[in-house]
Structure 1
Amino acid sequence: MGNSSSSLKVCTDHQGGINWLSLSPDGQWLLTGSEDGTARLWSTADSQCRGHFQGHESYITFCHLENEAAFTCSADHTIRKWDVMTGQCLAVYRGHTSIVNRILVSKDYLFSGSYDRTARCWSVDKEKPIQEFRGHRNCVLTLALYSSQDLLQDSEEEESEEEKLSKDFLVTGSTDCTVKVWWVSSGRCHQTLLGHTGAILCLILDAPNRELFSGSTDYTIRTWNIVTGEQLRVFKEHQGSIICLELVNRRLYSGSTDRTVKCWLADTGERVRTFKTHKHSVSALKYHAGILFTGSGDACARAFNTKTGILQRVFRGHKLVINCIQIHNELLYTASHDGTLRIWDIRPLCKRGKRRLKKERSLQGRSSQKGSLSRLFNNKVGCVVHQEDGREQETVELM
């Protein structure tokens, strides 16, 4: 069993639950969005609160942090942009007619999804709505974005000149049980992915493999070919809604209301491991240095060895559900509905994890070298070694 761990610091500045936690690309800042209608900026160097963003008229549902700008969306139907250094509100994006659930920032564009059944695209600098995506019959809960340069360059589909000029596609998941793919340039629906029988709660893209994974309240995860829209696989062993997904080295981790995390081979859909011991829903996942960190409705975070599934540490101290986790410089940050941000030292765990990964890579290298020597020897005597190569590759993948 894992050992309990106490936090290095507890940040109690918020007056309401923390709904989301975002880390800046350079790792210098954290942003928390809260039920109290404010966002706060935290320095990862000293864990001090360096900014307090006020202006929303209702609770903040989600937040996103760039190096110089912060973005928040709210139940007040708006999105706001903030200057990280001054705390000044730089822009207010108005147009949605209900709660804004999610935002996504890409270069000069801001994307949003709302309970008003639409997603929208905005010009970040001009507060200008560029596109509206209409077609869902219910709330838009989750978003993803990809470029045609990454995923469609080998497509043989017939395309209009307008579509050929377009590079970006927006993916939306809704409580109407569908996933939709939209041309950003025209706002037109490119594909509707049908198969789920429950709300879509989470999406994750694997651009190099042109695959999209969707998690739903129907207890399944589905994999789609993002080019053709074809459903490739269905992951069926969960006994509750899929709340969160994490994809690492073609291993898919799924957190569920059934109190477990499952690890799947993304290429085949085979379940290879189940992580238990949670006493409530698994609400957050993060992989780091061979360790899977989880946040749960039982107010605890946990660390599991991803190879063995063994629980290595339990992080206790929160009083309510952990909504989000981040990791930076071998510190674990957990944000909870109890209104606190907690910081935990995970250096001992990370050192062990890195030693294990280094050892595994060394063993893989020796196995590969052994296979090369065997091939040289067997080639001299005319033996066929395809089976040996196959075993070596399988061993590498399982490590």
Structure 2
Amino acid sequence: MNYRFHNLLGAPYRGGNTLITKNTQLISPVGNRVSITDLIKSETITLPVQSSSNICRLAASPDGTFLLTVDENNRCLFINVPRRVVLHRITFKNQVHALKFSPDGKFIAVGTGKLLQIWRSPAFRREVFAFELVRTFAEFDDKVVAIDWSLDSEYLLVGSKDLTARLFYVKKLKGALNKPFLFLGHRDTVVGCFFGVDKQSNRVNNVYTVARDCYIFSWGYSGSDPKLDELRAEDSEPPSPGTPERDMEENIESSGDGNVRKRKNFDGILEKKEYLHRGKWERLRKDGFMQGSAKVTSCDYHRGLDLLVVGFSNGVFGLYQMPDFVCLHLLSMSREKITTAVFNELGNWLTFGCAKLGQLLVWEWRSESYILKQQGHYFDVNCLAYSPDSQLLATGADDNKVKVWTVSSGFCFVTFSEHTNAVTALHFMANNQCLLSASLDGTVRAWDLLRYRNFRTFTTPSSRQFVSLAADQSGEVICAGTLDSFEVFVWSMKTGRLLDILSGHEGPVHGLMFSPTNSVLASSSWDKTVRLWDVFEGKGAVETFSHTHDVLTLTYRPDGKQLACSTLDGQIHFWDPINGLLMYTIEGRRDIAGGRLMTDRRSAANSTSGKCFTTLCYSADGSYILAGGSSRYICMYDVADQVLLRRFQITHNLSLDGVLDFLNSKKMTDAGPLDLIDDDNSDTEEGVEKQTRGDLGYDLPGSMPNRGRPIIRTKCLRIAPTGRSFAAATTEGVLVYSIDESFIFDPTDLDMDVTPEAIDAALNEDQPNRALILSLRLNEDALIKKCIFAVAPVDIPAVVSSIPLKYLQRLVEALADLLESCPHLEFILCWCQELCKAHGSSIQQNSRNLLPSLKSLQKAITRIHQDLAAMCSSNEYMLRYLCSMNIKN
């Protein structure tokens, strides 16, 4: 039951800005979570940290250790990325549109509303008030939308919606020197402003400002201007009090000239300093991107290569060489606007994101090749299916697409788009090379996962809408239940011919599953019945189980001796399919209840909608069952005792509907909830346009459709065949929960003497047995593997026989992980063989606890066996030829 959040699939990007840190990690917001993609290893993980609403802005420290996230509620999290924990929290008073660390990592510039604030970076210090406000600039007439730091962290270039860009000196100066320099002449919002640096002197020599109306301004610095300085000094105002500005004031000596001031250095010697914001800037040129009616939605500049990348609202992006404004590339990514465009540190990779399509691309512009190309489902995911070896996960959604993901890496490697309507059901065949999908377009398609093609399509004489799918254990018979005609169609897998039509239901057939042990097909319908069919005999319904409410779904226990089904009244009924008896019932209305929709007229406690389970799934050993529905909870029940073991809350995202139990009465107006009122004057170019998620076009009996924000719900639950993880298709995406999370520290059976130093000392004293037991007690994955490799092959039987029974599961998990990545195959297989010899009886007696880890080990061995078998088979004749030759030295 120790499942923890592991990853988020189905939505690599949903809006906001993206980052690429020094260690080639791509950081992107996904709803109220943060996803980190390793572009070298091609792996993606999602941090377990959650914000209160959708994240709109990100900023990373120069070394990539710290991450700042700001959500739509202006709540900021300061995250330690390597440890995946939140260090500090702060809430800004206004909406944040720009956020950036200084190059030295000491300060953070935040554009909150019309203010520009400079905060001291908290770093690793433990403080009650970690964020220290250093300075505030209130010079703007509209929102701050763009920020750029100079390399020496002394100057800030800030763009605003008031059609201006301003150059600030970060430290506090005396008198008129605090006044910024204004870059004027723009006719639209300044969406990007950047410092240009001289390659030889490494000093700022020009500035680029990009306006939303597809124009770029180039500004050049021509030195100090004493006359202009004197005029500004006359009109200057004293700095306004009220903001603490400690440690920011410079030691200035009074001087007669305007722009050049003398200050004392560390040796007490007077030196001159030239301030860029008091100098003379002139516009060198104005260039247009020539994109017609399109607008600039994102841009970034690389100082080292003098390259500018610009994304437009029509899906086109351009790469320009500055300062001559030479177009290197002008390509179209999609028809939707590009919401983020950013360089990596070396400048050879470009990252683009399209929030509406959920698309994230990393493009190498020199070779014109993709480093990363991922796209999530446009609408909600309806169905899931694990492959028999638990390595692949298939998803089907309302966007008519079927995607197959690699669970370990979190990447989608193939997308099937032949369906013309929503995909409602998926099923993996036992050979792990074929995937079945059912759709509302009236077809059931079979997909070849080796050649990535649709090799067979099952249809009906007249058009039908399929909502459920099942295949028998042999893979010879395919069955699909309909939404409109209330029938179950049966086809032959080999010929694709329609064999039979099972009639008898009087409502949509939403549940369909073959028994794991025989050829009996179970079907559930909204006509309040569950029917058992003998498909091969063709005798019609063998047995009918009647209920008092509509039956929403059903599932078989893995041993085939129990059948569970959920009804509209929130109950889960457990039947004995052999004797046809009701074994027991679980009342789950109160367990899944919670959450009030914006359109509800009743409180969450009195509302009857959504208090039922629409998806069920047994565990691998059948001891517990998972249940989910139109709620933010996933319930786990013990089948034998009929008790609730645990509730998983799938999200805390307040941007979704149904997360809060009590609505805020302050947000209720005469026209309805404030969140559901359309604001025609809102700025849609800076964030993600709100879009209504797609659905299947029908609702559960008694449910009310919501046309406002997306409703939090769980549409499908599936447990991996190994039992080590389960996946939930939710409004937030596909959430994967796992117990194989080695990153989490689990202090089990610890003592003061159990330390990494003690393990190293045991290894130095040639005591591998003691070192391995200490590492198992410490439960540190790296140390366990180190001790395994420290054992000589001849000593493996003695070491394995001395391992206590309670540490077997950790040792098996470590061996299974090593088989996936370690090149020493014979050495690890020797460990596995000796483990089975020494603890065979103990493993058999405790098979229930060790079954998940043993299945993981079996999966790894099977995969390696298949790889080696294919290699040996291809070289069989070459090996025969070499063996038959009489080779002499």
- Determine if the TM-score, normalized by the shorter chain, exceeds 0.5: yes
* 1:92-171 equivalent positions in 2, closer than 5 A: 92-95=457-460, 97-106=463-472, 107-115=475-483, 116-146=485-515, 150=517, 167-171=518-522
* 1:260-299 equivalent positions in 2, closer than 5 A: 260-269=633-642, 271-273=643-645, 275=647, 298=659
State the secondary structure of the residue aligned to 1:77.
Answer: coil
Q: 1:118·1:136 contact (CA, 8 Å) conserved in 2?
A: yes
Distance change (3 Å), C-alpha of 1:28 and 1:266:
closer
Residues 32-80 of structure 1 show CA distances to partners (whole Å, capped at 9, x for unaligned) of: 2121212123334544333221222211112223421221111111111
Q: 1:173·1:201 contact (CA, 8 Å) conserved in 2?
A: yes
1:76 corresponds to which residue? 441
Residues 66-98 of structure 1 show CA distances to partners (whole Å, capped at 9, x for unaligned) of: 421221111111111122133321111111643
Whether 2:543 is the aligned partner of 1:191: answer: yes
Structure 2: distance between partners of 1:325 and 1:262: 11
Structure 1: distance between partners of 2:725 and 2:560: 31
Q: Which has the higher contact order (CA 8 A, sep 6+)?
A: 1
Q: 1:213 aligns with which of 548, 559, 564?
A: 564
State the secondary structure of the residue aligned to 1:127.
Answer: coil
Structure 2: distance between partners of 1:79 and 1:71: 7
Whether 2:399 is the aligned partner of 1:36: answer: yes
Structure 1: distance between partners of 2:577 and 2:730: 34
Following TM superposition, by how much is the alpha carbon of 1:325 offset from its aligned partner in structure 2, in angstroms? 5.7
Opposite residue 530 of structure 2, the aligned amino acid is V
1:58 corresponds to which residue? 421
Structure 2: distance between partners of 1:227 and 1:255: 27
Opposite residue 104 of structure 1, the aligned amino acid is A
Structure 2: distance between partners of 1:244 and 1:354: 35
TM-score, normalised to structure 2, is 0.31
Opposite residue 211 of structure 1, the aligned amino acid is Q
Following TM superposition, by how much is the alpha carbon of 1:105 offset from its aligned partner in structure 2, in angstroms? 2.3
Whether 2:614 is the aligned partner of 1:251: answer: no
Structure 1: distance between partners of 2:560 and 2:456: 37
* 1:290-369 equivalent positions in 2, closer than 5 A: 298=659, 321-324=713-716, 335-337=729-731, 347-348=740-741, 362=806
What is the percentage of aligned positions where both structures have the same residue? 19
Following TM superposition, by how much is the alpha carbon of 1:209 offset from its aligned partner in structure 2, in angstroms? 7.0
State the secondary structure of the residue aligned to 2:490.
Answer: strand
Whether 2:576 is the aligned partner of 1:203: answer: no
Where structure 2 has 5 or more consecutive residues not aligned to the other structure, the ranges are 6-31, 37-43, 47-373, 591-610, 661-692, 694-709, 750-775, 778-804, 808-848, 850-889
Q: 1:183·1:189 contact (CA, 8 Å) conserved in 2?
A: yes
State the secondary structure of the residue aligned to 1:37.
Answer: coil
2:604 corresponds to which residue? none
Distance change (3 Å), C-alpha of 1:241 and 1:119:
same
Structure 2: distance between partners of 1:88 and 1:276: 37
2:383 corresponds to which residue? 20
Following TM superposition, by how much is the alpha carbon of 1:99 offset from its aligned partner in structure 2, in angstroms? 1.6
Distance change (3 Å), C-alpha of 1:142 and 1:352:
farther
Following TM superposition, by how much is the alpha carbon of 1:346 offset from its aligned partner in structure 2, in angstroms? 6.6
Distance change (3 Å), C-alpha of 1:350 and 1:125:
farther
Structure 1: distance between partners of 2:397 and 2:379: 6
Whether 2:544 is the aligned partner of 1:176: answer: no
Structure 2: distance between partners of 1:349 and 1:80: 38
Q: Based on CA coordinates, which of the two structures has the bigger radius of gyration?
A: 2
Q: 1:133·1:187 contact (CA, 8 Å) conserved in 2?
A: no
Opposite residue 124 of structure 1, the aligned amino acid is M
Distance change (3 Å), C-alpha of 1:58 and 1:297:
farther
Opposite residue 495 of structure 2, the aligned amino acid is K
Residues 189-217 of structure 1 show CA distances to partners (whole Å, capped at 9, x for unaligned) of: 111101x2222122122364722111111
TM-score, normalised to structure 1, is 0.64
Q: 2:628·2:714 contact (CA, 8 Å) conserved in 1?
A: no
CA RMSD of aligned residues (A): 4.0
